[in-house]
């Protein structure tokens, strides 16, 4: 493999986004972050929203900075983001309304309403999607109840990366990995489940043609060329639009006896399979079947992740105690164990605000020791996450019959050494942590395959292994989690 290829990748998370220029040469990839930005949101009298115009302006600024630093020519542009949220656009491409943030409370009670229309078992058997009130299907139900005029006037519902791709190219397409987060796709045929869509009464015109990751959408629009100075023939590729799908494509693993953990605001933990598993046992454990690259399926569980830590930090900063993440981890590392845990699937932890108090309240409700020391609270969250990972690995092995031998962790959370070591201890298996920018690396991998720079994802994973040295965490205190597992499970039952 020789000859340099250069790509622009965008990875947008719930807190921030980044524009990265990636150079692929001689079997290795080098990343240069040219622009980091807030993924802008806003609150008003109608709820919690995304400021999608501000976000798109950041995309354009990233392209402009890439051009200023590296010149006008690149092999491709690709975008990945979080799942489930969408933008309604009319035939002229105008945004209708203000797109909602998945943490808005408009979806409260929507799951129960949905199950009265389509039985829970039927929904899961068809879509294989885990049940969470943030899912697009439940957001659309809220939209249909609260803003039916927008749905009727809309030409398309575009999920976040699809919308940003549309703004760059004018093409209204829906990439499958991101579409698979909606709860409205058929994972076996990798298309919309039109029967479900009709049963819920959603306008069929909303659902754009689904394309596979690696599909070229077209060149950037002349208006983007004018704003950025980029060459007009640079293709925009529908990468693995869901950030977790991109992250999994970056995992430097071979064989099948491994699991992945994409660690950030959310934790996504699972395995890669060739055939979806929409079984009743999988539904019982709330696993989801989402699209992956090369027509694979990501069989995974969505776990709350580092969101409670982020919210605690924000709360303490509002009180004048502006701790860095490094400081919080250091404080949490002073004590060797918390000896107390919470059920992070409790819906109260999903919503913003008052997170330290919510942790303490949960500990009090389950008759556990509690105090307001930040180090203790962060330690409780870390150990609770580790226990969640332990349970998830056990459930994967039970449902699939596959013996998991190692865990590959990617994403920003791998920088949290306390979390990584706690994870290795909890699951009793080695954890290989890195690359940190897992989503962007996998995103670029899809572009590289499309450009012919590498033949397939398997070879891309070798490129990743050659380019980034993962940090290995071996179990050092597995006995702590084994000895306390019954106590932890009792807490889950008490809630």
Strand, coil or helix: 347? helix
Q: CA–CA distance from 20 to each of 6, 90, 124 (Å)?
A: 10, 31, 37
At 1 the pLDDT is: 38
Task: List pLDDT tens digits, range 257-309.
Answer: 999 999 999 999 999 999 999 999 999 999 999 999 999 999 999 999 999 99
Most distant CA pair in the chain, distance: 63
243 is annotated as an active-site residue: yes
Strand, coil or helix: 180? coil
Q: CA–CA distance from 353 to each of 14, 30, 71, 310, 382 (Å)?
A: 16, 38, 44, 11, 19
Catalytic: which of 85, 155, 243, 425? 243
* One CATH from 3.40.50.2000, 1.10.150.120, 3.40.50.150, 3.30.420.40 for 5-241: 3.30.420.40
| DSSP β-ladder status, 235-238 and 210-211 | unpaired
User: CB neighbours (10 Å) of residue 3?
Assistant: 8
Q: Which residues contact 41 (CB under 8 A, 6 or more apart)?
A: 48, 49, 50, 51, 101
Give 244-282 as a 3 state SS string. HHHHHHCCCCCCCCEEEEEECCCEEEEEEECCCCCCHHH
H/E element, 214: none
How far apart CA 53 and CA 98 sit, in angstroms, is 10
Task: List pLDDT tens digits, range 374-391.
Answer: 999 999 999 999 999 999
If you average pLDDT over every residue of the chain, what do you get? 96
Please check whether residue 443 is in contact with residue 449, taking contact to mean a CB–CB distance below 8 angstroms: no
At 492 the pLDDT is: 86
C-alpha dihedral sign at 244, 245, 248, 250: negative
Residue 233: DSSP 8-state:
T
Q: pTM surpassing 0.75?
A: yes
Q: Which residues of the chain have pLDDT under 50?
A: 1-2
Residue 3: DSSP 8-state:
S
Q: CA–CA distance from 81 to each of 18, 24, 170, 216, 392 (Å)?
A: 11, 22, 19, 18, 24
How far apart CA 331 and CA 313 sit, in angstroms, is 13
Going from N- to C-terminal start, the domains of the chain cover 5-241, 251-434+470-495
Q: CA–CA distance from 166 to each of 88, 237, 354, 365, 455 (Å)?
A: 12, 11, 37, 48, 27
How far apart CA 71 and CA 250 sit, in angstroms, is 27
Closest CA to 338 of 379, 381, 366: 379
Question: What one-character-per-residue DSSP string does 377-393 give?
Answer: HHHHHHHHHHHHHHHHH
Task: List pLDDT tens digits, range 420-463.
Answer: 999 999 999 999 999 999 999 999 999 999 999 999 999 999 99
Tell me whether domains 5-241 and 251-434+470-495 share a fold: yes
CB neighbour burial string for 314-342, b if at least 16 within 10 angstroms, e if fewer: ebbeeeeeebeeeebbebbeeeeebebbb
Q: For residue 268, what are its two tokens?
A: 């996504």
The CATH class given to the 251-434+470-495 domain equals: alpha beta
């Amino acid at each position: 493999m020789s000859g340099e290829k250069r790509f622009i990748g965008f990875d947008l998370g719930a807190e921030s986004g980044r524009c990265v220029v990636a150079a692929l040469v001689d079997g290795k990839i080098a990343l240069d972050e040219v622009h980091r930005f807030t993924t802008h949101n806003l609150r008003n009298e109608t709820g919690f929203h995304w400021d999608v115009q501000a976000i798109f302006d950041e995309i354009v600024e990233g392209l402009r900075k890439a051009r200023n630093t590296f010149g006008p020519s690149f092999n491709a542009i690709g975008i990945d983001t979080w799942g489930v949220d969408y933008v309604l656009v009319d035939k002229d491409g105008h945004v209708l309304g203000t797109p909602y943030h998945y943490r808005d409370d408009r979806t409260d009670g929507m799951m129960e309403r949905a199950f009265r229309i389509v039985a829970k078992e039927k929904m899961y058997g068809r879509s294989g999607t885990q049940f969470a009130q943030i899912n697009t299907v439940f957001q659309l139900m809220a939209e249909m109840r609260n803003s039916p005029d927008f749905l009727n006037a809309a030409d398309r519902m575009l999920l976040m990366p699809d919308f940003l791709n549309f703004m760059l190219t004018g093409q209204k397409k829906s990439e499958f990995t991101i579409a698979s987060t909606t709860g409205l796709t058929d994972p076996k045929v990798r298309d919309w489940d039109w029967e479900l869509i009709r049963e819920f009464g959603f306008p069929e015109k909303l659902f754009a043609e689904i394309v596979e990751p690696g599909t070229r959408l077209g060149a950037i629009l002349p208006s983007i060329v004018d704003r950025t100075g980029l060459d007009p023939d640079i293709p925009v590729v529908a990468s693995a639009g869901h950030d977790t799908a991109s992250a999994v494509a970056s995992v430097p693993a071979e064989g099948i006896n491994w699991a992945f953990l994409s660690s950030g605001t959310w934790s996504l933990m699972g395995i890669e399979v060739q055939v979806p598993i929409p079984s009743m046992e999988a539904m019982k454990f709330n696993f989801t079947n989402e699209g992956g690259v090369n027509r694979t399926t990501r069989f995974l569980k969505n776990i709350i992740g580092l969101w409670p830590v982020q919210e605690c930090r924000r709360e303490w900063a509002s009180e004048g105690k502006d701790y860095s993440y490094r400081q919080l981890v250091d404080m949490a590392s002073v004590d060797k164990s918390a000896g107390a845990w919470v059920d992070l699937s409790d819906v109260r932890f999903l919503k913003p605000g008052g997170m330290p108090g919510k942790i303490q309240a949960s500990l009090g409700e389950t008759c556990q020791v509690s105090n307001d020391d930040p180090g203790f609270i962060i330690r409780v969250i870390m150990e609770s996450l580790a226990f969640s990972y332990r349970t998830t690995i056990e459930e994967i092995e039970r449902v699939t019959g596959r013996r998991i031998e190692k865990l590959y962790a990617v994403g920003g959370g791998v920088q949290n050494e306390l979390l990584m070591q706690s994870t290795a201890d909890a699951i009793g298996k080695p954890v290989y942590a890195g690359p940190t920018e897992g989503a962007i690396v996998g995103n670029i991998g899809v572009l590289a395959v499309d450009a012919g720079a590498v033949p397939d994802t398997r070879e891309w994973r070798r490129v990743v292994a050659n380019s980034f040295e993962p940090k290995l965490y071996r179990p050092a205190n597995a006995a702590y989690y084994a000895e306390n597992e019954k106590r932890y499970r009792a807490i889950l039952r008490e809630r």
